[in-house]
Structure 1
């Protein structure tokens, strides 16, 4: 009897350990709201179906109305994997126990994409000078607060460098929306100018060349690192291995997988990556913060000096992390 009890306890303990070693029964894959949820689901579901079939995992797509919903979902472990832009990935890494494990590869092999400022081809805005001549007369289509190409990069490289703050005091209106909505607003001449990116414009050119012909590009940013996928650090190692192996090998040769990627976006596949790809994004974010502090009239000179010195120290540390050319 004593042996039987010991055997039962041993079996129960083994079962408990085995249960913890197994992959989670269900994973939620958060996808940032660059477009309408129905559009995103149509693009991403074939890839998620392939993921489940090849790995044996049970992954479900999770959509939120804004980027913050995916970031918070990962923070509270309602989302375990996510497709992000770099700015939102930075938030997920810093606040939501996230870690970058792969990044997308663009179809042209450039390893990135660019932020844009666009207008309708028939718009009165022919150049950037026309926009900055009198911003109070400009209706601006802006991106999600956590969008890399919709807010962070143009906010710094396009506007801050010209001493222009993006708000309702500077522009006639500032209308935050998704890339898709801003692009359609420009195509239909419903807004003066809007931020966007080369991925969205390339997709429009492929799918609707007539609408693409209605867009004029006024500004193009430097190259932005391609979009990353982020997982929660506390996922079981076996699950991480399955996820990484699936993505780095996806769409390399299989015609079906290549077609899935073609319909998904302008990506051709994925390659391994890490949090290190966020370095230039962190630098831009710190530059922006420094500018805000320097312009804050409510701060004393001493406080301003202390805070900017702290940012300079962080920037120096980031510069030291940068790979040597």
Structure 2
């Protein structure tokens, strides 16, 4: 019996398999449309890394995080809060962030009413307890949940769940439609998605008015699993940060970026970019804890200690103090 075939078989088994790369796309739009818009970019990525690239598209944050944790997704476009969860719990790291058309690297959360609403500003919005219906962002989202909760409501000692008559939860487009169809009186959005919604629903947008906007926040990041082979990680980072800036097809790449998410491109970033949302989350949790009248003093004290302990751990994980 010849040992040569057996040796060849064992050698083949020992070689690393070129598994497909799956890119997760957290979206606030239609899943099919998002995939169609991003597919040309993913095709270009596949050509650069020399491996098949697939996509997972959706707005279920828990599902996306779990897929990253289980290595079913290796690269993802997410928001800052989900990136923080992935860095903390799913062996992920930030390697780039998105830049919107017009070279805007930041965004703001915004609050909208219909143009004929008697509410003219945030102060008036907060003078109608148990009278208004509100379209909120999904629990845990950065732009439509954490930012307005902290900067608009909690600093005024208001818990939205107690203040509004009724709350519906959804993504930016669902909230926009809820306001346009008069299902709610006020809706949260963000400056990035609102530009796309303005283009998609110009008549509805013309019948709305902005009554509040938050401070600026760092734009959505791109993350990848830490345990990807170093050469592959470098290729992926180089692809995104140079896409639309160098090469023979920059004009085509710029067009694909715009169609994908009205993007201008991507810039290098790291885990430190998540410090802003880490601070926001701590302040948010502490405010809600302070206003929670159901917990005993000892329970509040213990919970507060837990919040600060996690905050210190996250600070170290993200590169230490500023």
Aligned pair partner of 2:130 in 136, 150, 158? 136
* Counterpart position of 1:51: 45
* Counterpart position of 2:112: 118
Which structure 2 residues correspond to residues 201-280 of structure 1 after superposition, within 5 A?
Answer: 201-253=194-246, 254-280=250-276
Q: Would the aligned equivalents of 1:250 and 1:257 in 2 still touch at CA under 8 Å?
A: yes
Number of corresponding residues: 316
Q: CA deviation at 1:302?
A: 3.5
Aligned pair partner of 2:157 in 160, 163, 166? 163
3-state SS of paired residue (1:15): helix
C-alpha distance after superposition, 1:56-115 (max 9, x if no partner): 221111123522221122122222211101011111222222211111122233321111
* Counterpart position of 2:13: 16
Matched, 1:284 2:280: yes
Q: Which runs of 5+ in 1 are unaligned?
A: none
2-structure distance, mates of 1:146, 1:43? 26
* Counterpart position of 2:169: 176
C-alpha distance after superposition, 1:2-56 (max 9, x if no partner): xx64x666645543342x2x542x1221111311212212221221122223322
2-structure distance, mates of 1:12, 1:173? 64
User: Please, which moves more after superposition, 147-156 or 38-47?
Assistant: 38-47
* Counterpart position of 2:320: 321
Change (3 A) 1:294 1:244: same
Aligned pair partner of 2:94 in 82, 88, 100? 100
Q: Which runs of 5+ in 2 are unaligned?
A: none
The two structures have a TM-score, normalised by structure 1, of: 0.88
CA RMSD of aligned residues (A): 2.4
C-alpha distance after superposition, 1:150-187 (max 9, x if no partner): 101111111111111121x4211110011111122323
